[in-house]
Amino acid sequence: MPYEFGDIVLVPFPFTEDGRNSALVPFLDLLASDIANRPEALVPLPNALLTRIERLTAGVAVDLDAAIEGDVAL
């Protein structure tokens, strides 16, 4: 069942037998392979970007234990 929000349509993807999201599996496999084959390509975020992120998110409260609204499978 798709969820429509104006020009955006969200379509739930089925999960694999081991519970992984089938839409993410190919991307995560590619990412894992790339990290394994080219670890030198991993670089830390620049300090200026970290500072900007901290400034943009300052005062934003996040409760990691709060329930997520809507249908979610994790």
Q: What is the pLDDT of residues 15-36, one digit of tens each?
A: 778 877 777 888 889 999 999 9
pLDDT average, residue stretch 38-67: 93
Residues 6 or more apart whose Cβ sits within 8 Å of residue 35: 41, 42
pLDDT above 70 (res 64): yes
Please give the pLDDT value at position 54.
95
In angstroms, rounded to a whole number, what is the distance separating the alpha carbons of residues 14 and 21? 6
In angstroms, rounded to a whole number, what is the distance separating the alpha carbons of residues 48 and 45? 8
